[in-house]
Amino acid sequence: ASPVAATPTAALASAPAAAPPATAAAVNLGAQQFKDASPANVEDAYNALKTYLMLSDKSRAEASHLNDQLTRFWRVWLDSNRGSMPREQMIRSAERMISFYLTQINDPSWPQIDSKLALVDQSRDSLRRVVRGMPARERVYADVKARAATRFASMTVARIVGEQDKELVLGSYAIPGTFTRDAWEQFIQQAFQEAANRELQSADWVLKTASTDDLTLEGSPEQIQKALVELYKTDYAREWQKFIQGVSIRELNGFDNAAAAMNRLGDPQTSPINKLIETVYKETSWDNPSLLGQGLQRAQRGVMGWFKETILRQKPSGINVNVGSGAPAAGALPMGPVGREFSGVARLVVTKDKDASLMRGYMEALSKLRARFNQIKNQGDTGPGAKQFMQQTLDGTGSELADALKYVDEQMLTGMTDAQKQAIRPLLVRPLMQTFAVIIKPTETEINKVWLAQVLEPFQKTLAPKYPFSPASGSEASNADIGQVFGPEGSIAKFFNTTIGPLVVRRGDSLSAKTWANMGVGLAPSVVASFPGWIAPLSANGVATAAGAGEAQTRFDLQALAATGATEYTIEIDGQALRWRGQPQPWIHMVWPNPQGTPGARISAITPEGRTVVLLNEPGHFGLKKMIDSAKRKRKDGGVFELSWENSGVSVAANLKIVATPAPAAAPATASGAAGFRGLKLPEIVAQSVPAVNTPAPAGAAAAHAAVAP
């Protein structure tokens, strides 16, 4: 009991000498998970004193008050002393312990603390001075709230969703029982009326004071009651906004756990999400007169309306209902702060034609998502199904996730204010985000399986034991073997075009994952860095460009200059290639003839529209000679010739410099290029998620809205 009692004691010691009443800090779903008590806040200091006195005198103990306050104070001590225990496990254990502790209040052996009388007197004296300095209206309002808090239970997510789902849907904020519909209808409304019409006498056992407040001296009863109600409604709306913003879906670890969770979330009859929205609607609709009008219309239809519509197949006539004598139409009646802030929730729940509602449509979308998850699970190997599901979601077609998000944004949130969207959208989107997060792991596993079968195993069997991949090997890999794996037509290029292509964004030779809700497959950094070299034309990585043994070779340098009507072009000479992509290019060393490459010369370009244009294609031993002969030539200084070719509106140019002395018979063409594949090894996996500091589901409302923006 000592850790529990110590913190309220510290709060009492710091009780304010004088401070206006204030609302405690709002929920922060980042590092701070709950509303913390502040010793500078009058209400928090009062509650701390009340808790301290209850712990020392069980005859005063109130389970609802202690449950809220002990959680708030004990949590700080637990966070500092939990060691290696996971935070979720700590919270669950603490909740069970507090629940057991509070159920034993009537037990004679229920533990009590020895209160420090001097501390209690000092705290009471400080709080009395503050309370005496408060306006009478604020004192009455605070007194009514305090009395209501002892009579009505707090509203929590666990209370709404029940035992079965309280581990699935989590809440970080508990609404005091003062701000519930039961409290308003059964106590608050009548208490405000009494306070506005007669002198109010109250006794406070916490402060040991008796006070008399006569608000009738401040104005008419109607004005006083209206002012108290407005204060209450404003606080009521604020409390429920905090409550909604604190709701989250726990991280669904593993596909089996996710399937089980979706079976709960997607069940229209028992879904905890549906229960939450329905409860918020029930608790906030009392301040929306238009909903009263809709209820009266449904009541006036009665049996006759049902008989005409169902039996006689007649379309029922509309009924105009006015609430109150001489009042405007119900839909035109002004809404209070609560009804105004939560009119968006009412719009989701209220039924329209054929008992259909937007919330029912949302549950149907979750039901389809549940069916898709179960279908993937029943396949045994979840990888192929998860990969296809992710691809469809990223493409925005054929995906239950994409359809559900589209329904939320285009149907459910239409017409809401930005503030309402920021409050409601995260609650509707979080199940979708958590579902998408679950399919990432099996998708990455499937990608790695395909990489192993299509790329890595063939590489290990045919290339890895040979030179240059194994520098000490006496066996040399041929261009044909290397071309099976590397280069623009190799198995690596095909793998990235087909298997990974739909899941990534490719700009030139750079790769980045496509994302949905800021989530997508993770690509190993080494793969992203090596990818351009893997798919480059073979000579670009220095493969097999040694001179032939029986023929003298001409060495020459080639430099790409520019292109008109093209974003990229490639010059290939005997298996050696030069590629231009809009950037200044260095001189590239080449030899002719190159016995390790396919004889011939070819020039191709890609237009901005993605069309391939072949400017020259001369196969055979003399392809280089024909390429030079067909070019427009311009002599420059230093033995350099500028060559250009044109076809179909595309023009490319390059510099050519010939080295006069033929290379020795066995001289390598390029010292730097020859090392391109030397000792190269392919990674075992290409898809690898980097562990994130935060969960994929953004906690704040604005973050959740931005995270799943189309």
Task: Please state the length of the chain.
Answer: 710
More confident site: 555 or 5 = 555
**Domain boundaries in the chain?**
1-134, 152-245, 546-669
- Position 643 scores a pLDDT of 92
d(CA 468, CA 461): 14
Cα distances from 178 to residues 147, 170, 336, 357, 666, in angstroms, run 8, 22, 18, 30, 92
Percent of the chain with pLDDT over 70: 77
d(CA 44, CA 130): 13
CB within 8 Å of 4: residues ≥ 6 apart: 55, 70, 73, 74, 77
Q: Which residue in 98, 185, 188 sits closest to 146, CA to CA?
A: 188
**pLDDT per residue over 661-687, tens digit each?**
554 433 333 333 334 687 899 999 999
Q: pLDDT band at 405, cuts 50/70/90?
A: very high
Instruction: Compute φ and ψ for 556, nearest 5 degrees.
Output: -150, 160
More confident site: 204 or 123 = 123
CB within 8 Å of 574: residues ≥ 6 apart: 590, 591, 592, 593, 594, 597, 598, 599, 600, 601, 623, 624
Percent of the chain with pLDDT over 90: 28
3-state secondary structure 13-38: HCCCCCCCCCCCCCCCCCCCCCCCCC
More confident site: 152 or 301 = 152
Using the predicted structure, report yes or no on whether residue 294 has a pLDDT greater than 60: no
686-687-689 Cα angle (round to 5): 135
**pLDDT per residue over 89-106, tens digit each?**
787 788 778 878 887 888
Q: Which residue in 431, 389, 588 sits closest to 517, CA to CA?
A: 431
d(CA 33, CA 25): 11
Using the predicted structure, report yes or no on whether residue 704 has a pLDDT greater than 80: no
Do residues 492 and 485 touch, judged by C-beta distance below 8 A? yes
- Position 304 scores a pLDDT of 54
d(CA 181, CA 337): 14
Number of H helices, E strands in the chain: 25, 15
What dihedral angle (degrees, nearest 10) is formed by the CA atoms of 227, 230, 231, 235?
A: 170
Mean pLDDT of 1-12: 48
The continuous run of DSSP H or E covering 651 comes out as strand 650-663
Using the predicted structure, report yes or no on whether residue 313 has a pLDDT greater than 60: no
**pLDDT per residue over 35-66, tens digit each?**
555 666 777 888 888 889 999 988 888 777 78
Using the predicted structure, report yes or no on whether residue 6 has a pLDDT greater than 80: no
Mean pLDDT of 145-167: 86
DSSP-assigned beta bridge partners for residue 600: 619
Which residue has tokens 């939560």? 342
Under DSSP, the state recorded for 465 is T
How many other C-beta atoms lie within 10 A of the C-beta of residue 234?
A: 14
The continuous run of DSSP H or E covering 396 comes out as none
More confident site: 673 or 388 = 388
CB within 8 Å of 331: residues ≥ 6 apart: 290, 293
Using the predicted structure, report yes or no on whether residue 25 has a pLDDT greater than 70: no
- Position 619 scores a pLDDT of 80
The continuous run of DSSP H or E covering 539 comes out as none
- Position 498 scores a pLDDT of 92
DSSP-assigned beta bridge partners for residue 632: 644
